Structure 1
Amino acid sequence: MPIELEVAADGVALLTLNRPERLNALDPEHYALLSRAFERVRDDPAIRACVVTGAGERAFCTGADLKAPMPRLGPAEMAMTQRDLLPNRGMQLWKPLVAAVNGHCLAGGMCLLLACDIRLAAPHATFGLSEVRRGLIAGNGGTVRAGRDLPHALAMELLLTGDAWDAARAERWGLVNRVVPMASLLEEALAAARRIAANAPLAVQAAKEVALRARDLPLDDALRLEQAMLALLATTEDRAEGVRAFTEKRAPAFAGR
């Protein structure tokens, strides 16, 4: 399958873009399949965190497959704002995403990376938004998120030159959390996802949602949202289980209720 989704018993999903012969580039058909996979991540209560990676050692994802016809974007298509959503294209997915960047992360692949919460990269990974070299701008959230994740001058360098960064520079500027050896990349990403999945799932999703929504809110409104979410979580069974487990000096068994 070109888009693979495996779900383990520990609540961690592994989503793999499996087109290594095309550097994991995506045509319209595969973008639609990727959307279906993320819908399952969003909606399946058995999934608490998801690792996103590419097949092989050459590419995480190089964005749109330039050999495939570019989809038509007329008024009718522009009006279909909820079709084939992705986390980087409007999908409200509060379960954490951990990226394991195993090679080139370019154009639409970089846009997908920018929608991930924790990002690990192999030393040979490269990062870039090259759309201006093809007569476009970075879509699927790339132009918007680059300026939120990076200082203005650095975001503009990526967006306007189309140049790529190596992994060391990406780590230095916080585009990725850390660079790890390729041999241990996937396991370290899965380990991070397992640590997340061991926590109370409703609290984890609330933390992500509040942190992201608060970016666009005035401080008073953001603090009020945080307070309201905290009050709601205080009523959950998982909150009571967390207190019991602490008192009894054992690992909690969270149920997402």
Structure 2
Amino acid sequence: MSIDFAIEGNGVATITINRVEKLNALDDAHYRALSDAWIQVRDDHRIRCAVVTGAGQKSFCAGADLRTEVAKKPVQSDPWLAQGHPVLNRGLEIWKPVIAAVNGYCIGGGCTLLLATDLRVAAEHAQFGLAEVKHGLIAGYGGTQRIMRQLPHAIAMEMLLTGDRITADQALRWGLVNKVVPQSELLPTAYEYADRISRNAPLAVQATKELALRSRDLELADGLRMEQLFSQLLQSTEDVREGQSAFVERRPPRFRGR
């Protein structure tokens, strides 16, 4: 039982939610360990991209462990500890791309985690759902917010209000995931995405992600202005010069994130 963390030589980090006997549901200890993993992804300059998945073949993440987490008496000061043990779906800002490899149930908090990732690959047997209303709860950690921005209104409301699950094929049809593949191809497909991303200039990748996400809440003129400033900032980096040299010399670039 753990949150497994590994970094490959190409700068790709893998976070594996490893609580197979509980369908990778998260109790307090696992939430804290997952928070530590996300902070390392954010702060470790070796990491250029991250893949998050679940151990086994039955579940990506079944969300909060209802037997332990929901039964806890709420602490009235908790809502004001907005940055306590931050996780990706609760608003931790990570501008390195995050890819989800969904290997089964993606329910509740698992689905809200999915909604906070950038690219998503699902196994054919994956199922997705925000079942909180079936338990007297709401889809927190961004569930009620992100899904309305990522799916058509009627589809998002159906998932939120019925709590029913959708299949991998439905998720693909509505644009919730990028690809649906056989289980045996799940991680290779996710890592292929990660490898393609990690070959690119890391500062430019992070700037692109931040601009794309922040601009959703900006007027077009403000977004264009921010884009202009980011572009000017990147022009002074070593990676821009390396990219130009590699193009002229017809060789793969060796980006260093500087």
Q: Give the TM-score, by structure 2 length.
A: 0.98
Q: Does 1:26 pair with 2:16? A: no
Partner of 1:5, secondary structure, is strand
Aligned to 2:11: 11
Aligned to 1:83: 84
Cα distance in 2, alignment partners of residues 234 and 144 from structure 1: 35
Aligned to 2:100: 99
CA-based RMSD: 0.9
Shift in Å at residue 86 of structure 1? 1.0
Q: Which moved more, 1:68-77 or 1:29-38?
A: 68-77
Partner of 1:136, secondary structure, is coil
Aligned to 2:154: 153
Cα distance in 1, alignment partners of residues 174 and 229 from structure 2: 33
Cα distance in 1, alignment partners of residues 69 and 211 from structure 2: 38
Fraction of identical pairs, as percent: 56
Listed as ranges, the gaps of 5+ residues in structure 2 are none
Cα distance in 1, alignment partners of residues 51 and 221 from structure 2: 34
Q: Describe the superposition over 1:118-150 as per-residue Cα deviations: whole angstroms up to 9, x where unpaired.
A: 000000000000000000110011110000000
Q: Describe the superposition over 1:162-193 as per-residue Cα deviations: whole angstroms up to 9, x where unpaired.
A: 01000000000000001011001001101110
Partner of 2:89, secondary structure, is coil
Cα distance in 2, alignment partners of residues 141 and 217 from structure 1: 19
Aligned to 2:200: 199
Q: How many residues align?
A: 257
Aligned to 2:114: 113
Cα distance in 1, alignment partners of residues 51 and 85 from structure 2: 20
Cα distance in 1, alignment partners of residues 28 and 142 from structure 2: 17
Cα distance in 2, alignment partners of residues 72 and 197 from structure 1: 43
Cα distance in 2, alignment partners of residues 21 and 191 from structure 1: 29
Partner of 1:215, secondary structure, is helix
Cα distance in 1, alignment partners of residues 78 and 161 from structure 2: 27
- AA at the equivalent of 2:187: L
Shift in Å at residue 72 of structure 1? 4.3
Aligned to 2:50: 50
Question: Which structure 2 residues correspond to residues 130-209 of structure 1 after superposition, within 5 A?
Answer: 130-209=131-210
